[in-house]
Copies of this chain bind each other. A is one copy, B any other.
């Protein structure tokens, strides 16, 4: 792991959590694939001194990437501060100024918004400021990126300045990588592998015990619990492949029934199973209200197996749209195994799908009772190979109950389609 990188995410909106950062993780993953080790991600606000401090903190890295702070507003100051720290004063690049002006004009026309030409020009001029000797990365949106090596007489990392909007950053990434100073900085890298094991149905402490019985000195192993699923992610150099194979065997020996994947996510497995078997699915969701069908349709091409779903929030909708008998609703209550089964069967028959999933529960914070506390969720998956019911009481907030219910439903689908121990 010869080459190290650091990432600086700028923007008070990220620091204060109004916007969650997607660039740091995306860049970290891209760098990992290139064999570059990311030591830290720093999130700082739009204050020049905080950005300067962050760049100083990363002065020993080989490459530093910054994201954000390239817009036309006065709080966007990344390019100038980076230029200053690298010893390269900024000035307006006239060719770039013309290019950005053309882009902004096109954007305004397309949306039919009216623009004040002077206002636009001031913003454009700001976005065309380039540190002396920096390489300009052509705009994907309106903001150009920069590759800023330290000035001649200085040491330090090459700094790659990227825009904040993820689509612009990702679109600009190939050009950033191709820039000569970046290529030079990355020249010494060695391959770094990353593999993931996924378990469903065991506690982190049990897994820790398994790992403690062995020695894996060349592996960097991290475990992480997410919506009830346990992920073991291991990073290692290619020479440690036999050691990683031993890790997989140790986990399989101790947690075979819980180990559902040595790579693909439960979403991958369920999508492939539907596609391979040529089956279709429909849902009827009460407490999760569309989250499951939204998740099933996240990937391109899902229209081949997802027919749709009903978010039957009101009891009247459970009857009218999914055909849950009113007697069942009255005698068992809307949150019951019987209604979950009727939702699954109703989704299946109303959409004409091969597989149906029903979910009903109390996400809270209100609506609980001693018999049916908040977090009570009944699920049912029915398909050509049988029916799988499941009832749980999930901890946590309204959002946690909704998302864990969806995760559980995904594992029930996996089990229904692919077999294996119950979800």
Residues of A within 8 A of B (CB): 11-13, 15-22, 24-26, 28-29, 32, 38-47, 50, 53-54, 57, 71-75, 104, 107-108, 111, 113, 115-116, 118-120, 122-124, 142, 165, 167, 194, 201-212, 220-226, 231, 233, 235, 282-283, 285, 288-294, 296-298, 300-303, 306-314, 316-317, 320-321, 350-352, 364-366, 395-400
28 cross-chain CB contacts under 8 A? A11-B224, A12-B220, A16-B29, A16-B38, A17-B24, A17-B25, A17-B28, A20-B25, A24-B43, A39-B45, A40-B43, A47-B220, A73-B208, A73-B223, A75-B221, A75-B223, A111-B203, A113-B206, A115-B203, A118-B209, A119-B209, A119-B212, A120-B205, A122-B209, A124-B205, A167-B396, A298-B398, A311-B311
Q: How far is the CB of A316 from chain B (nearest CB, A)?
A: 7
Contacts of A71 in B (CB 8 A): 204-205, 208, 223
For A212, what are the chain B residues with a Cβ–Cβ distance below 8 Å?
Answer: 74, 119, 122
Residues of B within 8 A of A308 (CB): 289, 310-314, 317, 321
Tell me the interface secondary structure of chain A in the complex.
Answer: mixed
A347 to chain B, nearest CB (A): 10
Distance in angstroms between the alpha carbons of A104 and B205 in the assembled complex = 9
- Chain B residue with the shortest CB-CB distance to A299: B398
Residues of chain B within 8 A (CB-CB) of A397 are 167
Instruction: Establish whether residues A297 and B310, one from each chain, have CB atoms under 8 Å apart when the complex forms.
Output: no
**Interface core residue of A25, A205, A212, A395 (most chain B CB under 10 Å):** A205
Contact A28 B40 (CB under 8 A): no
Instruction: Indicate if the CB atoms of B211 and A73 lie closer than 8 Å.
Output: yes
Specify which of B111, B210, B224, B398 is in contact with A18 (CB 8 Å cutoff).
Answer: B224
**CA distance in complex: A365, B124 (Å):** 31
B41 touches A15 (CB 8 A): yes
Question: Are B38's CB and A301's CB within 8 A?
Answer: no
A418 to B400, CA, bound (A): 32
> Once the chains are docked, how many angstroms separate the CA of A364 from the CA of B302?
11
CB-CB < 8 A to A309: which residues of B? 289-290, 310-311, 313
